[in-house]
Structure 1
Amino acid sequence: MATVPEYAIIVAGGSGSRMQQELPKQFIEVAGKPILMHTIERFYAYNPEVRLIVVLPQQQLSVWRDLCRKHDFKLFHMTVPGGSTRFGSVKNGLDAVQGEALVAVHDGVRPFIDVATIRAAFEAASVHGNAVVAVSPKDSIRELTPEGSQAVPRDRYKLVQTPQCFKANILKRAYEQPEEEYFTDDASVVEQTGEKIVLVEGSYRNIKITTPEDLILAEAFAR
């Protein structure tokens, strides 16, 4: 039986603002090379045949090409210019997906996703149409109310990560909708079309590197 092609759209639209530095966060070096290269390597380690689509802001494409030369980074991937929002960037990446396929959308600054989690997400998506990686909160949670705040049961909540995997036709149909403010990730876009979202267990190491504190953790994980 022929296997369905697998794609990974790696969205790297970050600036350096929360990092308090000029360099966009996906280009900051961890363990000697840009974060984005680590992320690409994880998907390649999962499946060398995976079709990698890296979405970057237009003005960063040449910087990325220079970094690939500098680090002799040879893993094959397509680059696509991003949109003005994450929604627009994923939509641009989807244009490069052809035919029947499974598509993972992943944050470029989550370089510690493990192969087992990627596999679990793709496998669940092939069965259910979608699979979203999530973990249970470690901290207590309070909900803000007009009166102040109130405790809520932690076991009823999940913290959403990436990758988020989908059958290509489901994801493409979802991205034909007009963009809404409450679309914070692909799951929220797909859910709007009536799909029931399936969760797959993630990992606390699968951090999204957005602040200087995260970089300290990242260096420790990389070692």
Structure 2
Amino acid sequence: MKYTVMIPAAGSGKRMGAGQNKLFLEIGGQSILYHTIGVFQDDPYCNEIILAVRPDEQPIIQGILEQHGGSKTITFVEGGDERQNSVAACIEAYKGDGIVLVHDAARPFIDLSLIRELVHTAHEKGAAIAAVRAKDTIKIVENSMVKQTLNRERLWMIQTPQAFRYELLKEASEAAIQDNFLGTDESMLVERLGHSVQIVESSYDNVKMTTQEDLALGEILLERRK
């Protein structure tokens, strides 16, 4: 089943402490963004890639895309200060009415089989998100004091891609803008509408490149995939 992927790539990556957009940092001799975009460039079921970028970085990103040499339609939009604003710009630029994915540009190790399952589930249910079960015990803490220990069996760590019927995602995005609500992911916006969201179990390899330690892990994952 065909889909379009929306990738917000306008973040600053402050937690990486690299002094530049972390997506330009390299794993295995190529940028993080190169690896992430490559997954969708090589997927025959991906119709289009919509990238939200900072205007001053667009030439650099176009150069990265040229290195890969894929033939997918690439649409650039101007990214916002917040991820939600960037995704809203992608939604506005989309001209279709099918299944859309939102994916973190800093998650280069996404698996095609997971993408297939997310697209299929979103087509059937309306909304589907990638997630893995929490490994650690999670506690609610206030002023350095434990207030509550949560039941780990019910906790999931949410990843991307997140897949939606386009009209549902558009409605959720527009409602958030109207209400001046800022969510942490697209699923949260859809949940506000009272719509159910289906979990699709992912892999712990689908890590987001956020810190220097993640880059080291990325080198290991890339070598293992080779």
* TM-score relative to the length of structure 2: 0.90
| Larger relative helix fraction | 2
- 1 CA distance for matches of 2:169 and 2:45? 23
- 2 CA distance for matches of 1:186 and 1:50? 21
- 2 CA distance for matches of 1:98 and 1:165? 17
Q: Which amino acid aligns with 1:100?
A: D
Structure 2 match to 1:89: 86
Structure 2 match to 1:208: 208
Structure 1 match to 2:191: 191
Structure 2 match to 1:158: 156
Gapped regions of structure 2 (runs ≥ 5) = none
Give 3-state SS (helix, strand or coil) of 2:101's partner: strand
Q: Contact conserved, 2:3 with 2:45, CA < 8 A, in 1?
A: no
Aligned: 1:167 with 2:165: yes
- 2 CA distance for matches of 1:166 and 1:37? 25
- 2 CA distance for matches of 1:196 and 1:72? 37
- 2 CA distance for matches of 1:147 and 1:81? 40
Deviation >4 Å, runs of 4+: none
Partner residue of 1:132 out of 129, 135, 138: 129
- 1 CA distance for matches of 2:216 and 2:172? 37
Query: Cα gap change, 1:198/1:16 in structure 2, threshold over 3 Å: closer, same or farther?
Result: closer
- 2 CA distance for matches of 1:222 and 1:128? 33
Gapped regions of structure 1 (runs ≥ 5) = none
- 2 CA distance for matches of 1:108 and 1:50? 17
Stretch of structure 1 that moved more, 172-181 or 124-133:
172-181
Give 3-state SS (helix, strand or coil) of 2:206's partner: coil
Q: Which amino acid aligns with 2:160?
A: T
Structure 1 match to 2:120: 123
Q: Contact conserved, 2:11 with 2:83, CA < 8 A, in 1?
A: no
- 2 CA distance for matches of 1:21 and 1:213? 13
- 1 CA distance for matches of 2:171 and 2:53? 23
Give 3-state SS (helix, strand or coil) of 1:172's partner: helix
Q: Contact conserved, 1:61 with 1:81, CA < 8 A, in 2?
A: no
Give 3-state SS (helix, strand or coil) of 1:107's partner: coil
Taking only aligned residues, the RMSD between alpha carbons, in angstroms, comes to: 1.8
Structure 1 match to 2:101: 104
Superposed displacement of residue 110, structure 1 = 0.2
* TM-score relative to the length of structure 1: 0.91
Aligned: 1:46 with 2:47: no
Query: Cα gap change, 1:20/1:209 in structure 2, threshold over 3 Å: closer, same or farther?
Result: same
Q: Contact conserved, 1:46 with 1:118, CA < 8 A, in 2?
A: no
Stretch of structure 1 that moved more, 192-201 or 93-102:
93-102
Q: Deviations over 1:29-62 (max 9, x none)?
A: 1112111111112123333542111111222112
Q: Contact conserved, 1:44 with 1:50, CA < 8 A, in 2?
A: no
Superposed displacement of residue 68, structure 1 = 3.6
Superposed displacement of residue 112, structure 1 = 0.2
Aligned residues: 218
- 2 CA distance for matches of 1:48 and 1:136? 28
Q: Which amino acid aligns with 1:197?
A: V
Superposed displacement of residue 96, structure 1 = 2.1
Q: Deviations over 1:173-203 (max 9, x none)?
A: 111122413x100000111112111111011
